Chain A
Amino acid sequence: MKKQAVIAGVGESSYHVRGRSPDSEFQLACTAIRNAAEDAGIALADIDGFVSYNDQRNDPLRLARALGIRDLRWAVQSWAGGGNNAAHAVQMADAAVCAGYAENVVAFRALAQGQFGRFGQSRGGGRTMDGDMAWKAPYGLLSPAQECALHTARFMHDHGISQEALCDISLACYANAQRNPRAVRYGQPLDREKYHASRWIVEPFHLYDCCPENDGASAVVVTTAERARDLKSKPAAILACAQGLGPMYGSSAFQPRWIGRMYYDNVGRSLWERAGVGPDDVDVAQFYENFTGPVLISLCEMGFCKPDEVEAFVANGALEGPDARFPFNTSGGNIGEAYIHGFELVVEAARQIRGESTCQIADAELSLVVSGPGYAPGSALLLAKT
Chain B
Amino acid sequence: MTRHLGDDWVLPELSDLNRPFFTSGQVQVQVCDDCGVLQQPPDEICGSCQSTKLSFRATSGEGSIESVAVVHQAVHPALKDACPYAVVVVSLDDAPGVSVIGNVLNRDPGEVAIGQRVRACFETCPSADGEETLKIPQWEVV
Contacts and interface: CB of A to CB of B under 8 A. Distances in A.
A122 B75 contact: yes
Interface in B58-96: 66-73, 75-76, 79, 82, 84-85, 87, 89, 91
Given A140-B82, A251-B101, A153 B73 contact: no
Given A255-B40, A259-B89, A259-B99, A202 B13 contact: no
Contacts of B114: 153-154, 157
Given A135-B18, A141-B87, A142-B76, A255 B67 contact: no
Contacts of A203: 69-70, 72
A252 B79 CA distance: 24
A122 B12 CA distance: 15
B129 to A, nearest CB: 9
B118 to A, nearest CB: 14
B25 interface: no
Given A137-B10, A154-B66, A154-B67, A121 B98 contact: no
Contacts of B13: 128-130, 134
A294 B102 CA distance: 22
B15 interface: yes
A256 interface: yes
A40 to B, nearest CB: 40
B103 interface: yes
Contacts of B91: 256
B119 to A, nearest CB: 17
B67 A260 contact: yes
B85 A128 contact: no
A138 B122 CA distance: 13
Given A129-B13, A202-B71, A203-B72, A135 B41 contact: yes
A120 B97 contact: no
Task: Name, among A126, A150, A199, the residue most crowded by chain B CB atoms within 10 Å (CB to CB).
Answer: A150
A116 interface: no
Nearest to B18: A134
Task: Name, among B15, B72, B91, B98, the residue most crowded by chain A CB atoms within 10 Å (CB to CB).
Answer: B72
A134 B15 contact: yes
Contacts of A139: 5, 87, 101-103
Contacts of B40: 251-252, 255
A132 B13 CA distance: 10
B124 to A, nearest CB: 13
Given A128-B11, A199-B72, A256-B97, A138 B136 contact: yes
Give the interface size class of chain B.
35 or more
Contacts of B97: 255-257
Contact of B12 (A134, A142, A146, A153): A134
Given A140-B5, A252-B41, A150 B89 contact: yes
Nearest to B139: A139
Nearest to A154: B67
Task: Name, among B76, B79, B98, the residue most crowded by chain A CB atoms within 10 Å (CB to CB).
Answer: B76
A18 interface: no
A153 B112 CA distance: 12
Interface string A126-162: 1111101011111111110110011101100100000
A250 B73 CA distance: 21
A140 to B, nearest CB: 5
Given A130-B13, A138-B11, A200-B70, 8 more contacts: A124-B10, A128-B10, A134-B18, A139-B103, A142-B75, A199-B73, A256-B66, A259-B66
Interface of A: 120-122, 124, 126-130, 132, 134-143, 145-146, 149-151, 153-154, 157, 199-204, 250-252, 254-257, 259-260
23 contacts: A124-B10, A124-B76, A128-B11, A134-B13, A134-B22, A138-B136, A139-B5, A139-B103, A140-B103, A150-B67, A154-B66, A154-B114, A200-B70, A200-B73, A203-B72, A250-B41, A254-B66, A255-B40, A256-B91, A256-B98, A256-B99, A257-B97, A259-B99
Interface of B: 5, 9-13, 15, 18, 22, 40-41, 66-73, 75-76, 79, 82, 84-85, 87, 89, 91, 97-103, 114, 128, 136
